[in-house]
Structure 1
């Protein structure tokens, strides 16, 4: 007891019995002893001086430490809390390291968990933390023991112990860095085991600890931890991602070996710049800027020429983007070759978030690399082509943004040599999408010399003859990029663009694609200063039609050129009338009866559509009449000839309908029809007996129109040959056709001349009258009424003869009303 003052001596005398009781077996006695020791020391009133406390603790520290191995949990807890509170009150707790550290190693640093209570393990690690904070350099002697403890407690099952252990590891690394670096690698493995813990706070503090352990320890561990930190950049918790960004930024600024790890650390920091959280993005941008500035200052001599003779900022630079400083750009330039291969691999990773993050990171890399990207174009483009087909929309958007940057930083002379051959050879979505974006980012004046080369590539048949909507959309994206970037410069390639737009429209399956074509045609008109779409069709239609000259004779139903021709003619409107000399031969050739039936059906459909609005299409310039006879003679009549089969029947129906359209549009005048009228009538009479109802019906309409048009120009003998065919149609199975034939009869009767010799042709009139009178007794009232009108018209030729015929059959009719009406009408004609 020598050397202690009166107070401490008194205290020790008072607690001597309590200290002895710590060795008792009775748990309650030990517990009461610990409580009394606290009461007589730390909780004594008035409080003991520090020196007195230290004297007391010197005497009781060993007995208290023995209690830490006690079987009673509460006793262990009271003892360790008592030790902890004593050490907090003492100025130099490091004096007790030789006593406390071995006990901590025994309780916490074993392979198996010795201390079963989570709460007591937490208090023990808090005691350890206190010793680290207050002991400083003196811990170096116990470094091995400290590491042994932390290796176990960092992976402790209790999250609070994990967190406190990480704090201990960080503080230890800062306290004795000159010694710690030799043992730091020993903590990396347990930290990496804990870095994926389910609690975000644990993951956060582990990341921060890794930062400190490596910062003050052995930098070689960076290789080990970077992949794990990269995974944490995908963490759902923003605080974890923030911690990674801070740690990596700190390493890039202050880590001794950072130059060796630039290629691994830079992608991690740049990942913070593309984070979804604004705060993390701002933090990443700030740190990256600072890293660049520090790199500039550390390499001032190397970068002196670039700084002193720096090129002016690029005139063609992405808008609304702050250019990275020289240090950032140089760092990327010097490390891109080591970063890019791994990043391109990740663009095709099987995990979707990895692909999304990699595509966004690629944008930041190119933005910093600028024109240095040129040296890595082949690798870069191959990765981007594949990434363009990613099912993740965001990944594709970022790849498109990256491709646009290539347009800003790489000369067209370079990317044209690489992208255009790939567009031709692969005929796939990726190269086209990249091309569209690169064009969009290019400078107008530098792009001008390559416009022809670009349009020739995308107009290459294997590229533009695609029926796939995504491919068509990218073709249109290329056109839009060219128009938007080059503006008036597209005048030299307007024909190619027009051709491409018509091709896409012809092959488009989606209505949205066709609408996009119309939008781009309008945009093209605007940059060419055309007032309407009609002007661009007038300017570009003839060269396009002439381009079909060598191929139209071999077109089939699947020929793309045929579809483009169809699309052009349907959309050209009045311009069609200007090019009949080129259009009609194509129609004649493809309506040849020897041609495939489906092809002929398509062309008849096109022709019918045009003739329905002939005034604004075929006859817009009043020239269609010159070709009307050709249409009838060389297109329509040959296809009306009967052939077996349903397809042949459909063609006959279409051909007769087309004849009806020609007659309806009014371009086929009497004079022009006269040379072919005999052939037309002959064929139409045959068609009136066709198996197809529609063919028969339309044939009746055509014949009616022919009679109205030709009138008395038809030969009387020819007329006499026709009525038997008309009478036959009155027996048709379709009442609609019978009604139509009655109208045909009316037009037919108008063709007889006023000086018609009824006596000479009495036999023909008798036959016609008799045939008509049969149908006056038809079961259908509407047929009776229609035939009554025909007979009244026929009565005008020779009423007396009709009256005689009527008298012979009237008694056979089921009703006399129509007969009496007809007799009365004929009688009036006789009296005239």
Structure 2
């Protein structure tokens, strides 16, 4: 078929264009005119001359007017499709900017764009992206309008609009870099508001956009985004962590002011070399090697002597590849700026932060080699504390780091500093660090110091520590012809608690009595249940909000440990329920109240963990569980919205536990207030929380089975059906296929790497449970959703289940 020429196309379009632009043209007529234009433009082959002469000169303006002001959504949609089709084929789409940018700013710009349809907002941004990518420098005069559009679109409720706005931000930065730097800071705030979005693909796109916005914009914005990017290195999705690694690597190679930010960027890139995913580790090392080589070339004169005589130490750790000279020099020259913050993170209250910091410490010391010497006091002080960590991985990484001290630092320096610590406070962790340093030291260098080491270790204050106490207790019980040390506790538990609690009203986290109470409570086993009155009164006094926060954390940890085996410890005599009111009102409730700060958040987490242990141990009667619910339900609901994953997880579990025990005693008001907060957790970033929320909703449905309030809850049930059906449809067909193929395997193996898939299976299971209540209503909702879902497998599965359940046996 011959291509349609300009004259022929202009003639064919004259009538629909006339109709489209006529003042009396109604909706139906406009729609017919647009359909006729589409038939001519999209369904016939056009010559390039026709596109240039007719589309650019005759079609752009009327289509833009239609897109800007037509009340009919279908007309705006057709106009948008025609513009995208035509501009894709135009040689100079940038010439349409004066016409289209005002329209895009009107439909998408702040404070609230005029376009209500999500799909059309997405299409409008795709049109903007096309203009940015192909418009080149013609975009410059409209940069303010573009940035205003992106500021609003980056915060759009529709995830796909946010993703497209990120791509537009990248295109804008690349189109006019010489002008973009003046506007780039305006995009940083909305990007950072979106970087923690619940959809991981949005997070990936935001990170990539942030990289381009700063790369081509104002480098000063690095400080505004670093903390957010560092947080994404803890993201559960490997692709998100990979995106962070990529942009940090690119900045270290190409950012104009990169030398000013080396001390801030290097820890982030090196933090990725210990990633759980091998591909991410390889990517980080590849970038790091490039950065080191580039820095070597840029500073070749300063490094000439070191390049000529850089020989690895003969006692270098076996099986470890020595980093390149440029990499080693970069770390050594920036270590004094990096180390203080890293040491602070090693004692952070968040476990993941401490683990990441301990991994990074080893990598940094491996690079720094003998430059470690000038930082020994800070390093050792931090290692002593970190080696007491409850997380074994933190301790393991810190011990490896201490071995590097032995490898690279002279024993004359390291041993003098470590042994002097024994004179001040001989902790077990000091011995751990010393042992690691000895293991890492070459034998021939360590030999002259062995005598002094032996003298230090043989001192009574070092070799005869309190760790011998338990063995002594066993010996004392044997002397008294008792069957074990528990009988010693049985004889003296009341006197022990009286002795340890003399000054309990003024305890702090540094009070030795805290450790003594910990040992008494946890080592006495069932005997502590015989002194419950005294023990609870100590807790009541010490766990008030005005007491030392770190002390409260320690005591809550002790209480949580006891509650996990309550019938073998504090409830061994069956007396604990009589103290339930004190535990709930005087201990848990005050500490579950929200207060600002990390320590306050950690206390709320431990308190809610204690509450879960209290419910999970199943020693409460239904009326006692109702007492917990009546006193603490607002705090439990609030816990499900905490930053802490553990708090959200425990909150969901507690609600589920309460529903199982006494949910049938809830009225319609109580049931109606319970499920919305649980439903929100189906969007949680953590797969564990999403899974637990799904289980809890199943328990909620079970409460309504054969219940008197079932009819009063019908509208709530219908809403739940609709929401769960939305969650049932994942955007990624590969995820759907993986779910279908691995459901049973996941249930049997509980494979950790695939935990993200499990909730989609449980969404189906929740709906199956809920289908018992109003099967006809659910069938209608499923049939409505069936045609909207990308993969209808779960919907068909539900329909089959409902049909089977309704068939007579």
- What TM-score, normalized by structure 1, do the two folds share? 0.55
Q: How far apart, CA to CA, are the structure 1 residues paired with 2:351 and 2:173? A: 38
Q: Is 1:236 equivalent to 2:250 in the alignment? A: no
Q: How far apart, CA to CA, are the structure 2 residues paired with 1:461 and 1:334? A: 42
Which position in structure 1 is the counterpart of 2:261? 261
CA deviation after TM superposition for structure 1 residue 185, in Å: 1.1
Q: State whether residues 19 and 25 of structure 2, in contact with CA within 8 Å, keep that contact through their aligned partners in structure 1.
A: no
SS in structure 1 of the partner of residue 103 of structure 2: helix
Q: Is 1:363 equivalent to 2:358 in the alignment? A: no
Which position in structure 1 is the counterpart of 2:62? 63
CA deviation after TM superposition for structure 1 residue 5, in Å: 5.5
Q: Is 1:383 equivalent to 2:382 in the alignment? A: yes
Which position in structure 2 is the counterpart of 1:11? 12
Q: How far apart, CA to CA, are the structure 1 residues paired with 2:294 and 2:259? A: 12
1:501-540 counterparts in 2 under 5 A?
A: none
Runs of at least 4 residues of structure 1 off by over 6 A? 469-472
Which position in structure 2 is the counterpart of 1:424? 423
Q: How far apart, CA to CA, are the structure 2 residues paired with 1:57 and 1:337? A: 61
Which position in structure 2 is the counterpart of 1:80? 80
Which position in structure 1 is the counterpart of 2:542? none
Which position in structure 1 is the counterpart of 2:342? 343
Q: State whether residues 38 and 82 of structure 1, in contact with CA within 8 Å, keep that contact through their aligned partners in structure 2.
A: yes
> How many residue pairs get matched?
473
Which position in structure 1 is the counterpart of 2:163? 163
The superposition leaves residues 214-237 of structure 1 with CA deviations (integer Å, 9 ceiling, x where unpaired) of 111111111111111100000000
CA deviation after TM superposition for structure 1 residue 49, in Å: 4.1
Task: Give the greater-gyration-radius structure (CA).
Answer: 1
SS in structure 2 of the partner of residue 468 of structure 1: helix
In structure 1, stretches of 5+ residues that fail to align are: 473-502, 510-832
Which position in structure 2 is the counterpart of 1:172? 172
Q: State whether residues 110 and 151 of structure 2, in contact with CA within 8 Å, keep that contact through their aligned partners in structure 1.
A: no
Distance 1:12 1:291, change over 3 A: same
Q: State whether residues 423 and 458 of structure 1, in contact with CA within 8 Å, keep that contact through their aligned partners in structure 2.
A: no
Distance 1:471 1:67, change over 3 A: farther
Which position in structure 2 is the counterpart of 1:47? 46
Q: How far apart, CA to CA, are the structure 2 residues paired with 1:170 and 1:443? A: 53
The superposition leaves residues 148-172 of structure 1 with CA deviations (integer Å, 9 ceiling, x where unpaired) of 1111111211111111111111111
Which position in structure 2 is the counterpart of 1:605? none
Which position in structure 2 is the counterpart of 1:131? 131
Q: How far apart, CA to CA, are the structure 2 residues paired with 1:267 and 1:430? A: 26
Q: State whether residues 106 and 113 of structure 2, in contact with CA within 8 Å, keep that contact through their aligned partners in structure 1.
A: no
SS in structure 1 of the partner of residue 146 of structure 2: helix
CA deviation after TM superposition for structure 1 residue 54, in Å: 3.3
CA deviation after TM superposition for structure 1 residue 53, in Å: 5.2
Which position in structure 2 is the counterpart of 1:458? 457
Q: State whether residues 403 and 438 of structure 2, in contact with CA within 8 Å, keep that contact through their aligned partners in structure 1.
A: yes
Q: State whether residues 54 and 90 of structure 1, in contact with CA within 8 Å, keep that contact through their aligned partners in structure 2.
A: no
Q: State whether residues 129 and 168 of structure 1, in contact with CA within 8 Å, keep that contact through their aligned partners in structure 2.
A: yes
The superposition leaves residues 181-202 of structure 1 with CA deviations (integer Å, 9 ceiling, x where unpaired) of 1111111111111110011111
The superposition leaves residues 675-734 of structure 1 with CA deviations (integer Å, 9 ceiling, x where unpaired) of xxxxxxxxxxxxxxxxxxxxxxxxxxxxxxxxxxxxxxxxxxxxxxxxxxxxxxxxxxxx
Which position in structure 2 is the counterpart of 1:317? 316
The superposition leaves residues 550-584 of structure 1 with CA deviations (integer Å, 9 ceiling, x where unpaired) of xxxxxxxxxxxxxxxxxxxxxxxxxxxxxxxxxxx
The superposition leaves residues 513-558 of structure 1 with CA deviations (integer Å, 9 ceiling, x where unpaired) of xxxxxxxxxxxxxxxxxxxxxxxxxxxxxxxxxxxxxxxxxxxxxx
SS in structure 2 of the partner of residue 364 of structure 1: helix
SS in structure 1 of the partner of residue 42 of structure 2: coil
Q: How far apart, CA to CA, are the structure 2 residues paired with 1:331 and 1:56? A: 56
Which position in structure 2 is the counterpart of 1:277? 277
Which position in structure 2 is the counterpart of 1:301? 301
Q: State whether residues 18 and 36 of structure 1, in contact with CA within 8 Å, keep that contact through their aligned partners in structure 2.
A: no
Q: How far apart, CA to CA, are the structure 1 residues paired with 2:362 and 2:328? A: 14
Which position in structure 1 is the counterpart of 2:141? 141
SS in structure 2 of the partner of residue 286 of structure 1: helix
CA deviation after TM superposition for structure 1 residue 410, in Å: 0.5
In structure 2, stretches of 5+ residues that fail to align are: 479-809
Q: How far apart, CA to CA, are the structure 2 residues paired with 1:27 and 1:88? A: 27
CA deviation after TM superposition for structure 1 residue 311, in Å: 4.3
The superposition leaves residues 567-625 of structure 1 with CA deviations (integer Å, 9 ceiling, x where unpaired) of xxxxxxxxxxxxxxxxxxxxxxxxxxxxxxxxxxxxxxxxxxxxxxxxxxxxxxxxxxx
Which position in structure 1 is the counterpart of 2:371? 372
CA deviation after TM superposition for structure 1 residue 113, in Å: 3.0
Q: How far apart, CA to CA, are the structure 2 residues paired with 1:9 and 1:123? A: 27
SS in structure 1 of the partner of residue 231 of structure 2: helix
CA deviation after TM superposition for structure 1 residue 86, in Å: 1.2
Q: How far apart, CA to CA, are the structure 2 residues paired with 1:48 and 1:416? A: 83
- Which of the pair has the greater relative contact order for Cα pairs under 8 Å at 6+ separation? 2
Which position in structure 2 is the counterpart of 1:408? 407
CA deviation after TM superposition for structure 1 residue 99, in Å: 0.3
Which position in structure 1 is the counterpart of 2:660? none
Q: State whether residues 424 and 457 of structure 1, in contact with CA within 8 Å, keep that contact through their aligned partners in structure 2.
A: no
Which position in structure 2 is the counterpart of 1:194? 194
- What TM-score, normalized by structure 2, do the two folds share? 0.56
1:414-813 counterparts in 2 under 5 A?
A: 414-468=413-467
Distance 1:172 1:360, change over 3 A: same
Which position in structure 1 is the counterpart of 2:98? 98
CA deviation after TM superposition for structure 1 residue 14, in Å: 3.6
CA deviation after TM superposition for structure 1 residue 268, in Å: 0.2
SS in structure 2 of the partner of residue 41 of structure 1: helix
Distance 1:328 1:5, change over 3 A: closer
